[in-house]
Structure 1
Amino acid sequence: MKHAEVEVDQLDLDVRNPRHGQVMSQEAALRSLIRDQARTNDSLLVNLALDIHRNGLSPALRFIVMENPDERYAVLDGNRRLAALRLLQQPDLLPPGPGASEFAELVSGPGKQPDRVACYVVPARADADDWLERTHTGQADGRGTVQWAPAAQHRWRPVGRPTQTSRAIDVLDWLKRHAVDEEEVQDNIGYVERNATTNLGRLVQTTIVRDLVGFHFEGREIVPDAPEADLVRRLNVVVADLASGRAVTDIARKEDREQYIRDLLGADLHGQQPEPPQTSLLEDDETDEATSSTAEQQGRAERGEPSSGGEEQDSGSSQDAESRPPDRRPMPRLFRDVTVDGLHARTQTIFWELRNLDLSKFPNAAAVLLRSAIELSVYEHLDAIGRTPSPDTELAKRILRSINALKDGTAGGRRFESILTDLDKQYSLVSARNLNQYVHNINNTPLPRDLETISVNYSPLIEGISAAIKARQAN
């Protein structure tokens, strides 16, 4: 084993690359990588090539290669990078299509792609296996690459517009600095950072909650409106409650969050405020990420309009809060008015079970079943139109392909706008990542109103799929 600088022209793509399986030639390997890295109207490989052209290769990464008898080297790790370098050398290797000519123009001038690259040379393929496993199969109990959690990502590069997560992390970091010697508090902060930033973010994004606790935001900074010791004490109580494991199941609306804080802190409220005026229940100067009024979203869905997705819009009347009757909204029922008679009998049964689940008792079962119902519906649609996805195709890609097929048919594209807008957003309720987290992340706790929001946003897609399959069966 040795380190070496190798000419890019001496490197060969691995014809046994696990990304695409065994192929017979270098040309086939490159074509397979291009297909593997394709996304709707985009290409991960093209994006990598453009980044290398602008910024060069990462100095933290070496190619792992195996020397062949003909003084060439088979790349065992780094095939995407090598394929990107090939495209930079010959842009016409990119198949004709959207973006191909634009790519050729963007890389026509001088770039930072190297002629020689740093390599780690192994004598045999098996000598690279352990390193490939660490790099490409997840964090492997800490032996592989452990991705930054959302909190770490926020600290590294804060988003421009505050989100629930970013606001929660700002508050937790402030509390860390002011309770540095209190081990129990630090433990609670760590738990909330890992498991409950959504709930904390919802709370601190709300003006009346901040007023009651005694602070406000200036940029990313926490500015106390109360004596610092009082603010630390109140935040400790909130964080301890969120870290206790007690389910905080319904703080979707501002009045729910206000009541939660009043019940939790009792008389220990900033300034001992009287009951707030009516406008405090109805107005806020912040917006919540993916927390819209469920009633408003349901109304939009019934009118065939897309969900607003971003702004916090609480329902309520202008009457005084004390005279307002208690909230008697029924527990949401998922996909309650959606027609699914074009789907397979078992899929229809799953939707029936979803509609009849009591979300207050079985939110986790409903979340897992919800994700399965969406995936099965999309799979049925793609299979029916002859575009059966491979087992390893990501859920987001399947959903996009299904939507694009419906947009090309009779279903209007605006019906799916809310999904298309948020499908790849890391913290959106309707994102494929969030649906997957309900199944694979033990700390992702679903809330009934969140599940209803997902149901409302995906209802047009499910109905469109059902109608499209039914139409094909009738022909």
Structure 2
Amino acid sequence: MTVAVEIRSTQVKAGSLLLDPKNTRIPADRRSDNQRQLLHELLAHEDVKELAASIAKLGLFANERLVVVPTGRRFTVLEGNRRLAAIKLLLSPELAPTPSQVKYFRSLSAKADLASLGKIDVAVVPDRLSAAPIIAALHTGDSKRRWSSLQQARFYHELMAQGLQPSEVAEQLGISLAQIRSFLRSEKLHRIALSLDLDADTRKRVEDPRFPLTTLERFIESQTGRKFLGIELNDEKGFVGVTHPDRFKAVLAKVVSDVTTKGMTRRINDEADFQKYIEEAEKDLPETKKRGSFDPDAFVVDGEATEELESGERRRSHRPSSTTPKTSPSVVPRDFVCRSQVAKVSAIFKELKSLKIFEHRNSTGVMLRVLMDVALWSYIKREGHADAICDHIDKNGKKRNYNPDWTPPLRDLISYAVDKRIFQGMTADGYKSTRSLAAKDGNYFITIDGFNEFTHNPYVTPTEGDLRALWDRAEPMLEIILS
């Protein structure tokens, strides 16, 4: 249940407002307690000049209050750092880092109503966590200036760093647990990439807020991509290493370099594309040891690079062990609850949750598919869409004439449900994740066609990583149809 946020509206002097040292827009390795340095970072990367020009011409809009938290006698801005940076530069152009920029902001300042910028409307919240739902609603949905995927991921990581569990972040922000886990995995891989010895040009591209994190996510979701990186999915850490650290670093450096290359996003859409890419990439990789393992947390701690550990070594956690969630033995996460009132759906869910994934991979795959099939059709009937979808897919009624109890295939059910937006409360990212299940690619396990391969093909057995990735992709839908 989402907790109501205590908000107090007031006006404060612009001089009493501080830029946020933990601002999600600023990469962890470039954050600072120095206000001027933060200002320069935002000016360099976040279109502050354009925003300042708009404010100088039109002023501040009344519906765009800054969200702040008390910091002694002053206030730290949690939402609205770009606007505050623009206001500071209009009020004090000499804060800009170069003479040409100082001249530019002086010209804007001369046109602005500076008196109206002296005091600013703000919404005061008691702490950072109370502001999280407000900030998420502004930047992770269809907002005017939506965060990039990388910035969203950093936001969720910051919440985790404050002691929340993924399930708590999901509940607090109204986002599916699977999406939170996916962002956290990708963000951790990106932080590890920043700890590598990259050339200056590659590092600049990887540090860019527009870094295509979703492309990196494809490597984590793909069985072939994970094998290339040398990682396996893990509920507790996001992923763990199953190759030598030197091999992992070499592959990751190659991947992040290529991911920022124009056209890379469109080159890897299925397993065949991954295979082709890997064959080409292998030619450029240095010779390293391959056998080994590693703990990803040994590479980064709270965004800072650390010395990696060799196979077999482990770093002690900085957090009490009691706060570390254990990996679920089944494909169903420990904190996922089925509330379906349909007896068969509840029974299937209970049976699936009782299966230990490492002992029953085939059974888990089959039962997961059955759960989606039965639960989705039950949801479609409950919401009154059954006749419409049957008429849509069986236009001439031939299948129903032959079998009055005929129901459409699972992939068709998912495609229809996504196209018609029938899932109550599902986010845009949730629909994107669910739609990907219906992709026509039997070689890509994280799809319904891939499901069919290990259900019907006697030579195909899913891995634990495949099954957990499949659950993550389906979870936005499962959270709704099992409610």
TM-score (normalizing by structure 2): 0.33
Pick the structure with greater CA Rg. Answer: 1
